[in-house]
Amino acid sequence: MSNAYETPAAEVTQAAVEHQYMGFWMRVLASIIDNIWMGIVIAIVMLVVLVATPLDDESTQYMITSGMVQLVLPFILVVALWVRFASTPGKMAFKGKIVDANTFEEVSGGRLVVRYLGYFVSILPLGLGLFWIAWDKRKQGFHDKLAGTVVIIDR
């Protein structure tokens, strides 16, 4: 017979035992690493665009091209890395891996695109969606919640 007034035992899922979520500060450091290498790649591409684009006072071609490079290149690089490695170099430095929040398995390319676009949702309310990682028990930002993903430390 069980005691009705006894504190219920916490239910520990098998997933929680097997996986450790990547915390806020590790993800901040990973983001810094990613911004450094991404900045270098964009700078190199922009230099090529600058050399290849004729500049004159009436032409806005360079501005349009540079804007497109700065928007599209990070999207392509990051999503390609997520699809191929489930990570970026910054997350790889801490053995971080993006996985399905329920099954802890590989995530589809479509959901990874949703995750990337979810970053814009995360930063809109003063970055609250990114800071949310610090308070969430599964360390999910708004972009993770939208895509149904978590970032774990792959042991």
The per-residue DSSP string of 121-132 comes to HHHTTTTHHHHH
For residue 104, give its domain range: 20-153
Per-residue confidence band for 12, with pLDDT thresholds at 50, 70 and 90: very low
CA nearest neighbour of 97 among 61, 27, 137, 151: 151
Tell me the C-alpha distance between 4 and 124, whole Å. 46
Tell me the two tokens of residue 45: 């591409």
For the residues 119-123, what does the mean pLDDT come to?
A: 95
Contact 151, 96 (CB under 8 A): yes
Give the CA distances from residue 110 to residues 2, 13, 69, 106, in Å, rounded to whole numbers and listed in that order: 48, 28, 22, 12
Is 76 within a domain? yes
Is 39 within a domain? yes
Is 25 within a domain? yes
Per-residue confidence band for 142, with pLDDT thresholds at 50, 70 and 90: very high
Contact 29, 153 (CB under 8 A): no
Q: Which of 2-11, 101-110, 128-137 has the lowest mean pLDDT?
A: 2-11
pLDDT > 50? residue 116: yes
For the residues 24-49, what does the mean pLDDT come to?
A: 95
Tell me the two tokens of residue 153: 């430390």
Is 5 within a domain? no
Report which secondary-structure segment, H or E, holds 24. Answer: helix 24-52
Is 12 within a domain? no
For the entire predicted model, the pTM comes to 0.83
